[in-house]
Amino acid sequence: MTGEKGKSVTLDVQALLSRDEDYLPRMVQAIVEATLEAEMTAVLNAEKSERTEGRRGYRAGYYTRSLVTRVGTLELRVPQDRHGLFSTQLFERYQRSEKALVGALAQMYVQGVSTRKVKAITEELCGHSFSASAISAINKRMDAELEAFARRPLTEAYPYLILDARYEKVREIGIQSRAVLVAIGIDGEGRRNVLGVELANRESRSSWRDFLLGLKARGLSGVEFVVSDDHEGLKRAVTETLTDAAWQRCYVHFLRNALDHVPRKHDDDCLQELRWFYDRRDLAEVRQDLARWLNKWQDKYPKLTQWVEDNVEETLTFYRLPRQHHKHLKSTNMLERFNQEIKRRTTVVRIFPDDAACLRLVRALAVEIHENWLEGTRYLNMSHLAEHKKEQMRQLDRAEAA
């Protein structure tokens, strides 16, 4: 049984290496340096400044060493001791099987695998293993960094907020599903930001409310427009916590829901014509098309047309935004792509050993995506929103003058 588990770990590493090359150099550097510190502690039999009778020597600062890897050149601080007892095998092994070690480190500390699996991987790839306590210490350092990201103050205004959730499996008294709640904000410069990632037992009004109140406690402000699916608990939480924001129901989810109200083998253009509503220039044009659509299809699909008439308004809120922003904010597609990237990597793990391991991976990937967004091109030109507001004020002034 043990042999089978070891083999599955190796396959997971190979799968990870074949799929992913995009690790944060800073994250890898922190992991390698933490590993060196753990090795030094084992050699000296003592932590920094620890008073113990079993101490075998004393630290004597650090020297700098460059390490060229697939994620870039890492400038590492390597610990040294007074009597030269410490000699790591890490660099030699790393240079010979650098791809494998990066993949192993990523799986060990980003994917939060159990310490037993970590030991098996390091023995196979590095020729030696690290103790469970050393591995736990490394994970704790990483958790502290991720927690700092998750609790950082939100000092800017975020006019646009996109909310969604996905589910991951966790081994807690059997295998349980956990909701991963995610919030993406678009700031005043038009850049996307990962504002929050939290686990909940399930999607509910209370879990979403607590999540949004947590964001507000960190400083979330200036939210004018929220996009999500039509989960009832989420809708209620948005209404209760973001009272000044307009809410947009994702039109893609809406069109999927519409399939429930037509025969499975329908062969006409009914739903395609419904899809066209969301490409119109303005709301007046949509209302004209909607009236024609209802009149055309109400006899053939009375259930569908009644459902659309009752719910379609929730999907048209985006028409109050600048036309240049419609494409990006009429759905949660941007966050769906974020979730697909999370899924692509969590599939390697399949079932997390606990909540902490799940949250560690998802937040680590969120940090990576967040930093890529900040360093990349702007997602939206927010000058369009500013000009749109000015035009609305001018129209209001003209109406009052008349």
For 6-29, give the DSSP string.
HHHHHHHHHHHHHH-----HHHHH
Other C-beta atoms closer than 10 Å to the C-beta of 197 total 24
Query: Around 146, how many Cα atoms within 13 Å sit in the side-chain half-sphere?
Result: 26
Residue 400 falls inside a structural domain: no
Out of 128, 150, 172, pick the residue that ends a domain: 150
pLDDT at 205: 95
Out of 150, 178, 210, pick the residue that ends a domain: 150
Find how far residue 36's CA is from the centre of its chain: 29
pLDDT at 361: 80
Q: At which residue do the structure tokens 């303005």 appear?
A: 282
For residues 94 and 91, what is the distance between their CA atoms, to the nearest angstrom? 5
Residue 62 falls inside a structural domain: yes
Residue 119 shares a structural domain with residue 173 = no
| 8 A C-beta contact, residue 348 and residue 15 | yes
Residue 145 shares a structural domain with residue 167 = no
Residue 17 falls inside a structural domain: yes
Residue 401 falls inside a structural domain: no
For residue 246, CA distances in Å to 52, 226, 236, 242, 309 come to 62, 6, 13, 9, 20
What domain range is 208 assigned to? 160-385
Number of independent structural domains in the chain: 2
Q: CB-based contacts of 102: which residues, under 8 Å, 6+ apart?
A: 17, 23, 28, 69, 70, 71
pLDDT at 23: 45
Residue 185 shares a structural domain with residue 299 = yes
Find how far residue 129's CA is from the centre of its chain: 31
Residue 257 falls inside a structural domain: yes
Residue 59 shares a structural domain with residue 84 = yes
Residue 141 shares a structural domain with residue 176 = no
pLDDT at 131: 54
Residue 96 falls inside a structural domain: yes
Nearest to residue 368, comparing CAs of 9, 23, 89? 23
Residue 394 falls inside a structural domain: no
pLDDT at 116: 58
Residue 247 shares a structural domain with residue 311 = yes
Residue 134 shares a structural domain with residue 185 = no
Residue 143 shares a structural domain with residue 122 = yes
| 8 A C-beta contact, residue 382 and residue 36 | no
The angle subtended at Cα 99 by Cα 96 and Cα 100, nearest 5°, is 85
- Coil vs helix vs strand at 356: helix
Nearest to residue 145, comparing CAs of 371, 341, 363? 363
The model's pTM is 0.70
Q: At which residue do the structure tokens 């996109």 appear?
A: 162
For residues 112 and 53, what is the distance between their CA atoms, to the nearest angstrom? 34
Residue 136 shares a structural domain with residue 52 = yes
Other C-beta atoms closer than 10 Å to the C-beta of 68 total 11
Residue 306 shares a structural domain with residue 358 = yes
Query: pLDDT by residue for the chain (402 residues), tens digit each?
Result: 333 433 333 334 444 334 444 445 777 778 888 888 888 888 888 887 788 887 888 888 888 887 756 566 778 888 888 877 877 766 654 543 333 333 344 444 444 455 555 555 555 544 445 555 555 555 666 778 889 999 999 999 999 999 999 999 988 788 899 999 999 999 999 999 999 999 999 999 999 999 999 999 999 999 999 999 999 999 999 999 999 999 999 999 999 999 999 988 877 899 999 999 999 999 999 999 999 999 999 999 999 999 999 999 999 999 999 999 999 999 999 988 888 888 877 776 677 778 887 888 888 888 888 988 988 899 999 999 999 999 888 888 888 887
Residue 235 shares a structural domain with residue 205 = yes
Residue 181 shares a structural domain with residue 104 = no
Out of 120, 150, 180, pick the residue that ends a domain: 150
Residue 395 falls inside a structural domain: no
Length of the chain: 402
